């Protein structure tokens, strides 16, 4: 009866190593598309990066954010962000820069004021300049790079340098492809939440990767006669059920948020869903098979690659 509930059979024997060139090719093509999209198409920066206005207003009654969002979105001045803070009458409104000139930006601000009317109290209106946006781009890039270096160091200490290099290559692959999504689909604005999505993708990806690396290390000690290719296939198959089911539970949660959480939650969760899917793919099909290139050492000796035994 329990067999019915097994999404992945316990004794899978998929030859991942033999199929590595298909996954390598797919990853290289997706990475190149993402890089070219970033270079030639750029990113649709949100207010956090390109500047704009921040308004704090207080309504006479409880604020209806849904209704306000519909009215402000209809103005066609870009993605306007609304957020309650403090009481349910206090609303934070962020208006992106809609043009290079001061007149165009002021026109967007006046349109918002016209929708809000005189029934609200304007508690604060301040401008976010492009200098702040450039500093945020610098800080965000630095945060991602530092996180990747920290992961590299952690995996290096816990395993060996070969594992660390392969793990970080897979992480960089996931982050680049997620950036490609933001470059190709300009519907998604690149803002502070996008940095969170990048870091979450990296965290989920390295979590799955470390589990597979742990099993490889255990099998290296138990099955000393196996070649690298045989070890990789064995470890990936042994952890396949865990990797897929763990990702599926998160994906189902994200799908629920995408469908029922509203537009703001949708814009945040869908890129994470995309990144998590590729993170799972890279952990299973990319990070471990790359060890065939770097090699593995046991007790100071290089293991035999042994590709001829798994073809």
**Predicted confidence (pLDDT) per residue in 85-105, tens digit:** 767 777 777 777 665 556 666
Encode pLDDT of 104-142 as tens digits. 667 777 777 777 777 777 777 777 665 556 676 777 778
pTM of the model: 0.77
Indicate the angle between helix axes 192-222 and 130-158, nearest 10 degrees: 10
Return the pLDDT at 270: 87
Query: b vs e for 91-115, b when ≥16 Cβ sit within 10 Å of the residue's Cβ?
Result: bbbbbbbbeeeeeebeebbebbeee
Provide the 3-class DSSP secondary structure of residue 127: strand
- Burial environment of residue 242 by CB neighbours within 10 A (0 to 12, 13 to 18, 19 or more): middle
pLDDT, position 91: 78
Q: What is the pLDDT of residue 167?
A: 85
Angle between helices 228-260 and 192-222 (to 10 degrees): 150
Instruction: Collapse the DSSP code of 87 into the 3-class scheme (helix H, G, I; strand E, B; otherwise coil) and give the result.
Output: strand
Interatomic CA distance for residues 263 and 75, integer angstroms: 17
* pLDDT attached to residue 75: 72
pLDDT of residue 29: 93
Q: Across residues 216-231, what is the average pLDDT?
A: 80
The 10 Å Cβ neighbour count of residue 253 is 12
Provide the CB-side half-sphere exposure for 279 (13 A, CA).
Answer: 30
Q: How far apart are CA 45 and CA 61, in angstroms?
A: 33
Positions of CATH 1.20.1640.10 in the chain? 8-44+133-309
pLDDT of residue 7: 64
Residue 95 near residue 47 (C-beta atoms within 8 A): yes
Given a cut of 50, whether residue 2 has pLDDT beyond it is: no
* pLDDT given at position 267: 80
pLDDT surpasses 50 at 203:
yes
- 204 neighbors 196 (Cβ within 8 angstroms): no
> Is residue 240's pLDDT more than 60?
yes
Q: What is the pLDDT confidence band of residue 61, given thresholds at 50, 70 and 90?
A: confident
C-alpha–C-alpha distance, residues 278 and 256, integer Å: 19
4 band by pLDDT with thresholds 50, 70 and 90: very low
**pLDDT computed for residue 109 by the predictor:** 74
Topology of the domain comprising 52-128 = Alpha-Beta Plaits (3.30.70)
- What CATH architecture applies to the domain 8-44+133-309? Up-down Bundle (1.20)
For tokens 């007149």, name the residue. Answer: 103
Question: Which of 17-21, 111-115, 300-304 comes out lowest in average pLDDT?
Answer: 300-304
Q: How far apart are CA 166 and CA 15, in angstroms?
A: 19
Specify the pLDDT at position 78.
67
Output the pLDDT for position 310: 59
The answer, yes or no, to whether residue 302 has pLDDT greater than 90, is no
Please report, for the chain, how many H helices and E strands are present, in that order: 10, 6
Q: What's the rounded Cα separation, in Å, for the pair 156 and 151?
A: 8
Task: Determine the pLDDT at residue 197.
Answer: 85
What mean pLDDT do residues 24-47 have?
A: 87
CATH 3.30.70.3400 range(s) for the chain read 52-128
pLDDT of residue 236 exceeding 80: yes
The CA distance from 292 to 163, in Å, is 11
């Amino acid at each position: 009866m329990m067999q019915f509930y097994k999404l992945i059979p316990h004794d899978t024997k998929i030859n991942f190593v033999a199929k590595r060139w298909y996954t390598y090719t797919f990853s290289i093509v997706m990475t190149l598309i993402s890089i070219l999209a970033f270079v030639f198409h750029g990113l649709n920066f949100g207010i956090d990066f390109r500047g704009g206005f921040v308004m704090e207003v207080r309504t006479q009654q409880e604020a209806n954010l849904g209704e306000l969002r519909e009215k402000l979105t209809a103005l066609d001045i870009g993605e306007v962000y609304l957020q309650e803070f403090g009481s349910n009458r206090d609303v934070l409104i962020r208006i992106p820069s809609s043009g290079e000139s001061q007149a165009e930006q002021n026109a967007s601000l006046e349109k918002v004021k016209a929708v809000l009317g005189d029934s609200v109290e304007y508690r604060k209106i301040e401008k976010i300049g492009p200098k702040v946006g450039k500093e945020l781009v610098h800080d965000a890039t630095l945060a991602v790079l530092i996180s990747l270096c920290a992961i590299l160091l952690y995996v290096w200490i816990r395993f060996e340098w070969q594992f660390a290099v392969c793990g970080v290559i897979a992480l960089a692959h996931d982050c680049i492809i997620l950036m490609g999504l933001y470059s190709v689909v300009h519907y998604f604005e690149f803002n502070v939440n996008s940095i969170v999505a990048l870091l979450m993708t990296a965290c989920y990806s390295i979590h799955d990767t470390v589990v597979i690396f742990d099993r490889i290390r255990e099998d290296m000690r138990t099955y000393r006669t196996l070649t690298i290719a045989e070890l990789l296939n064995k470890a990936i198959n042994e952890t396949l059920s865990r990797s897929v089911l763990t990702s599926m539970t998160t994906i189902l949660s994200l799908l629920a948020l995408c469908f029922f959480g509203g537009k703001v939650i949708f814009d945040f969760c869908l890129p994470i869903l995309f990144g998590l899917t590729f993170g799972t793919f890279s952990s299973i099909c990319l990070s471990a098979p790359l060890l065939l290139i770097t090699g593995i050492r046991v007790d100071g000796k290089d293991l035999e690659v042994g590709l001829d035994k798994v073809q």
